[in-house]
Amino acid sequence: MRIEIVVFDGFDELDVFGPFEVLSMAGFTVELVAAERPGPVTSMRAVKFDVPAVLGQADAVIVPGGGWLDRAPAGAWAEAQRGMLPARLTAVAPSIRWMASVCTGGLLLAAAGLLADRQATTNHGAYDEMRSYGVDVVEERVVDAGDRITAGALSAGLDLGLWITERELGTATADRVATAIGYARTARVFHSRGR
């Protein structure tokens, strides 16, 4: 299974590298991708690197947040305002198994119309804004709605990675990865009523 994690200028590092570490250790093929074109990306805390691939060759996609709550000029909010990333997410959604988000990355999914009339979560500081997109906000760390999986605040990205591992590869594999990273699993996932 190939999982793509979309990165953009201003993304939150833990939203990306928490799930990246967990899913890679579980044995998934995980790649960081850009929405539009390969090239340089700078995180919200000025980590710079080149992204060699573009969104669109995945079995599943994870969308991080960063910069939404403070309306940063680079980050998830800025990407929503530009509109290109939400459009790309909408375009690839029908061809993948599931799409997930960490923290305010859920608002990018909501801005793309991919969470309307669904149960989902995001950073607790953005619950009301997520509701404005027609999302039934559930105040949990991870919400599994089948083809959409959302995680709350940025540290919940570890929980997301471990839940995806359990969902796809079983509890034993998820427990093995949690032990390897020294993380106590909450094991609490809210299962949505679906569509």
Query: Domain segments of the chain: what residues?
Result: 2-191
CATH number of 2-191: 3.40.50.880
Listed in sequence order, the residues at least 6 apart from 32 whose beta carbon sits closer than 8 Å to its beta carbon are 4, 5, 7, 16, 20, 51, 53
Report the distance separating Cα 96 and Cα 50, nearest Å. Answer: 25
Indicate whether 38 pLDDT > 90. Answer: yes
Indicate whether 180 pLDDT > 70. Answer: yes
Q: Considering only CA atoms, which of 81, 149, 150 is closest in space to residue 112?
A: 81
Q: Which residue has the tokens 């990165």?
A: 7
For residue 192, the 8-state DSSP code is: P
Share of the chain above pLDDT 90, in %: 93
Categorize the per-residue pLDDT at 193 as very low, low, confident or very high, splitting at 50, 70 and 90: low
Q: What is the pLDDT of residues 8-34, one digit of tens each?
A: 999 999 999 999 999 999 999 999 999
Categorize the per-residue pLDDT at 188 as very low, low, confident or very high, splitting at 50, 70 and 90: confident
Neighbours of 94 (CB within 10 A): 7
Report the distance separating Cα 160 and Cα 18, nearest Å. Answer: 9
Burial of 42-61, coded b for 16+ CB within 10 Å and e otherwise, reads: ebbeeeeeebeebbeebebb
Categorize the per-residue pLDDT at 195 as very low, low, confident or very high, splitting at 50, 70 and 90: low
Q: What is the pLDDT of residues 110-130, one digit of tens each?
A: 999 999 999 999 999 999 999
* Helix ranges restricted to H, the chain: 13-26, 76-82, 84-92, 105-111, 127-131, 156-169, 171-181
